[in-house]
Amino acid sequence: MIVLIGPMGAGKTTVGRLVAARLGSAVRDTDHDVEATAGRPISDIFVEDGEEAFRALERAAVADALASHDGVLTLGGGAVLDPGTRELLAGHDVVFLRVGLADAVKRVGLGTGRPLLLGNVRGRIKTLLDERTPVYESVATLVVDTDGRTPEDVAGEIVAAL
Ligand code: S3P
């Protein structure tokens, strides 16, 4: 399995689709799977049940995808904060899509409905990048820079590298 990790705005969903298309394989996305299983949007899960409950659903989605799918898997930006999720990823190709603050803010935009960004998009993204970059780096088997690059270009580098 090729697993794409990285913060919101790294381009995981777009790049994941392109990598899967180039490899002739399918893509799964944990945000999508969690929403389908829970029957609610992620923002509702955060508000009603809290982040910890969301991380548990996310961990279950990762475990299910790794067991039942072969191809490309894109994770939500905070999935690798969960130690159980990190353990599940051992032995897989894990690609960290790195993005700097300016490009992440530009790509995420305003009013995206992402619960962790409410109030102050730029400030929240900066904090998340500072806190999480060491975690992404520790889990990744490949790091790809995305700043100023098109998703096609990034996908091409991943396919060539794996
Ligand atoms: C989150 C990222 C989101 C989604 C949830 C939490 C995070 O996924 O899983 O809102 O903690 O960074 P994307 O990275 O696909 O936006």
Q: pLDDT tens digits for 13-40?
A: 999 999 999 999 999 999 999 999 999 9
pTM of the model: 0.93
- Residue 160 maps to a domain: no
- Residue 83 maps to a domain: yes
Q: What is the pLDDT of residue 110?
A: 55
- Return the CATH number at 6: 3.40.50.300
Which residue, among 161, 47, 60, has the nearest Cα to 115 in the 3D structure?
Answer: 47
- Residue 74 maps to a domain: yes
Instruction: Indicate which residue's Cα is closest to atom 12 of ligand 1.
Output: 77
Which residues on adjacent β-strands are paired with residue 9? none
- Residue 54 maps to a domain: yes
Q: In a mutational test of the pocket of ligand 1, which residue from 99, 114, 135 has the highest number of ligand atoms less than 8 Å from its CB?
A: 114
Residue 86 near ligand 1, beta carbon < 6 Å: no
Q: In a mutational test of the pocket of ligand 1, which residue from 8, 99, 112, 135 has the highest number of ligand atoms less than 8 Å from its CB?
A: 8
Sign of CA dihedral 55, 59, 62, 65: negative
Structure tokens given for 127:
């904090």
Write out residues in the chain with pLDDT < 70, as ranges.
Answer: 110-113, 115, 118
- Residue 16 maps to a domain: yes
Q: Are the C-beta atoms of 82 and 132 separated by less than 8 Å?
A: no
Please state, in angstroms and rounded to a whole number, the distance separating the CA atoms of residues 64 and 161: 26
Domain holding 34, by residue range, is: 2-155
- Residue 139 maps to a domain: yes
- Residue 145 maps to a domain: yes
Q: In total, how many domains does the chain have?
A: 1
Q: What is the pLDDT of residue 107?
A: 87
- Residue 162 maps to a domain: no
